[in-house]
Amino acid sequence: MNTVEKTSTGVTPAELIFSHSIRLSSYILTPVHGGVSSSDILLSDRLDEWISRQHTLLIVAQEHQIDQHKIVENDPDVTDYPVNSYVLYTPAMGRSNKLLPKHKGPYQVIGRKQSIYIIEDLVKGKQIKTHVHNLRPFIFNPTQVNPLDVAQQNEQEFINDRILAHRGNHHRRCTMGWLQRKLE
């Protein structure tokens, strides 16, 4: 400690640094005999009491956090998408253009294993494995809206009834005319 006199210098390190001696009582951690008041309790006993209180508070806080986590994790309104339901998908890479919508879809839920869902693109038929946090519910009225029509429109894909004309050859530009069926 800095209060012990060194034999080589004859003074304490604290005295060299601060130009005066620091003398600490060796009785800081020993009990005072006589009447016991709150200020007469051993410092070590006080620290033990504080540590035990802190330990109790930590246990209560951890139990509270576990209870809250269970409620959020098992909330069916947030994380449960049944098989054959429709969802919107947020790709992990984000949007390619800031003018495009953040969520793509709708996609159909094909299967689920814990928090990993398998969804199918309705237009291309491609299956995608994704975590539940990338999915949002697709809310629609089944009597008025067909999810396939919405997916085709979002992908800018349209069904042509027939090709009206086709002119050109392989060296020049090709022009086509078609009759497009409107999505209703």
- Mean of the per-residue pLDDT values of the chain: 76
Average pLDDT on 133-162 reads: 85
Query: Is pLDDT of 141 > 70?
Result: yes
pLDDT in tens, 10-29: 777 777 776 666 665 555 55
Query: Is pLDDT of 58 > 70?
Result: yes
What is the percent of the chain with per-residue pLDDT over 90, rounded to a whole number? 17
Rounded-to-integer distance, Cα 124 and Cα 169, Å:
30
Query: Is pLDDT of 75 > 50?
Result: no
pLDDT for res 103: 84
Rounded-to-integer distance, Cα 161 and Cα 179, Å:
6
Rounded-to-integer distance, Cα 128 and Cα 146, Å:
21
Query: Is pLDDT of 184 > 50?
Result: no
Query: Is pLDDT of 54 > 80?
Result: yes
Average pLDDT on 173-180 reads: 58
Q: Of the ranges 44-48, 55-59, 82-86, 104-108, which one carries the lowest mean pLDDT score?
A: 44-48
pLDDT for res 153: 84
pLDDT for res 45: 82
Average pLDDT on 59-63 reads: 85
Q: Of the ranges 93-107, 142-156, 165-179, which one carries the lowest mean pLDDT score?
A: 165-179
Rounded-to-integer distance, Cα 4 and Cα 15, Å:
10
What is the percent of the chain with per-residue pLDDT over 70, rounded to a whole number? 66
Nearest to 121 by CA among 137, 132, 110: 110
Rounded-to-integer distance, Cα 130 and Cα 107, Å:
12
Query: Is pLDDT of 127 > 90?
Result: yes
* Close Cβ partners of 88 (under 8 Å, ≥ 6 residues apart): 103, 104, 105, 106, 107, 135, 136, 137, 138
